[in-house]
Amino acid sequence: MTGAESVTGAGAEPGTAGALSGSGTGSGAVFRETTADPRTQAVPLSHLSLELGHLYMEDFEAGPQRLREHFARVRPWADAARAAATVPGGRRPRVSTCFLIDDYFARFSSPAELVPLIVEEAGRAGLIVDYLARESGCAVTGKVPVAEAVAGRIVESPPPGSYGLRPPARQTGWLANGERSPVARAPQAMKRAVPWEPPKETAARRHSVFLDVELWSDDADGHRLWSCPFLAAVWQLARLGLLRNEGEAVFVAEQPDPGAFPEDWDELPSLVRLNPRADPFAAYRTASVLPSRFLPVEHAVRVVLDQLDVDHGALRQVAERSAREHAAVPDSVADRVSYVFYAGP
């Protein structure tokens, strides 16, 4: 990347001298050299992005009591995640919290009704929700086809000994962490039938845990429905500050007027800052406290993250900034993600 750039605020990357042009004013200003082309916009980074929950329609239909029970179970694990997020020198770690609402697979209630309820029930458990996100924003944010762009960065890991016989994920919509079983074929004249073979995980340890992930499905009209695991992978990239569109940050939090939440989900920004004093949304690492029913989905998320060619400029920025802060970040994007799964509804 050429040129100088800086983003003000916690976890921002310091700017360097040069001929600069400004975009915006105040704490959210972004500056860069007028000759910087191409460039990657820097984003402020916390040390940890802590997800306090993921709400589906069935959870909402169960009433406020379901949310109350969820946040009560989350609280001790959230406290433990904060305690573990230490930084050198005894400095206070930057930790932001977030909550994801599924408005992609089913529309229910309204932001005007639901957002205050989430904030209230979290507060009852002693938790603060800093940011609220819509799952549909992981598919399309504004005019940016986020999921489609991420799908275009899939680089499949060929299993050892494979010969490219299976169609690529961009054609099938399926991504595996190893070699699938061969397709059984009827024997032809003078040829033997193909024997059955088990699937094989590429990075297996003695025994395989093979997973084949459906990334999307297309209906008869050609409308694409992105899968929950794929959107969850996009969500992790957003929280890690690794999403860019032509160099520009994709998930930018907007702060509405207090109590001014719309009746329609489409009128709510993809990412909303609920706490004006919150640390930055994106972070070096993420942690999520979720019901155990999410475990298969998050296994699939790791399979996806392991086979993505993530934006190199964004990766370089995170590496350089984390090194300056002496905050070790794994090279593997998937290893920057952690979870706590609790049993229950």
Q: Say yes or no: 140 and 166 in one domain.
A: no
Are residues 236 and 123 part of one domain?
yes
Q: How confident is the model at residue 261 (pLDDT cuts 50, 70, 90)?
A: very high
Domain assignment present for 32 = no
Can you say how many angstroms the Cα of residue 18 is from the centroid of all Cα atoms in its chain?
Answer: 34
Lowest-confidence pick of 18-32, 252-266, 311-325:
18-32
Q: Does residue 231 share a domain with residue 89? A: yes
Interval 14-45: pLDDT, tens: 433 333 334 343 444 444 444 444 689 999 99
145 shares its domain with 61 = yes
52 and 147 in a single domain? The answer is yes
The CA distance from 282 to 50, in Å, is 10
- Total domains in the chain come to 2
Please state the separation of Cα 259 from the chain's center in Å. 27
**Would you say residue 17 lies in a domain?**
no
Rounded Cα distance between 84 and 87, Å, is 9
Question: Would you state the pLDDT for residue 200?
Answer: 87
The reply to whether 126 falls in a domain is yes
3-state secondary structure of 81: helix
Q: Is 76 contained in some domain?
A: yes
State yes or no: pLDDT of 54 exceeds 70. Answer: yes
Task: Quote the pLDDT of residue 32.
Answer: 43
Confidence of residue 221 (pLDDT cuts 50, 70, 90): confident
Q: How far apart are CA 42 and CA 237, in angstroms?
A: 14
Q: Read off the pLDDT of residues 88-100 as tens digits, 9 standing for 90 and up.
A: 888 899 999 999 9
Tell me the average pLDDT of the chain.
86
Same domain (yes/no): 203, 78: no
234 and 123 inside one domain:
yes
Q: How far apart are CA 252 and CA 43, in angstroms?
A: 9
pTM: 0.85
Residue 282 DSSP code: -
Structural domain contains residue 85: yes
Q: 229-242 pLDDT, tens per residue?
A: 999 999 999 999 99
Please give the Cα distance from 267 to 301 (Å, whole number): 28
Q: Are both 236 and 128 inside the same structural domain?
A: yes
Residue 146 resides in a domain:
yes
Q: Are 66 and 143 part of one and the same domain?
A: yes
Predicted confidence (pLDDT) at residue 278 exceeds the cutoff of 50 = yes
Q: How far is CA 342 from the centre of its chain?
A: 20
Q: Identify the band that residue 222 occupies on the pLDDT scale cut at 50, 70 and 90.
A: confident
Angle value at C-alpha 132, between 230 and 300, nearest 5 degrees: 20
Q: What is the mean pLDDT of residues 164-174?
A: 81
Cα–Cα distance measured from residue 161 to residue 170, given in angstroms and rounded to the nearest whole number: 21
Do the domain assignments include residue 220?
no
Residues 170, 78 share a domain = no
Answer yes or no: do 114 and 177 share one domain: no
Whether residue 174 is contained in a domain is answered as: yes
Domain co-membership, 71 together with 206:
no
Q: Roughly what angle, to the nearest 10 degrees, separates helices 228-239 and 295-305?
A: 70
**Residue 292 lies in domain:** 48-151+227-244+254-309+336-342
Q: Half-sphere exposure of residue 33, counting CA atoms within 13 Å on the CB side?
A: 15
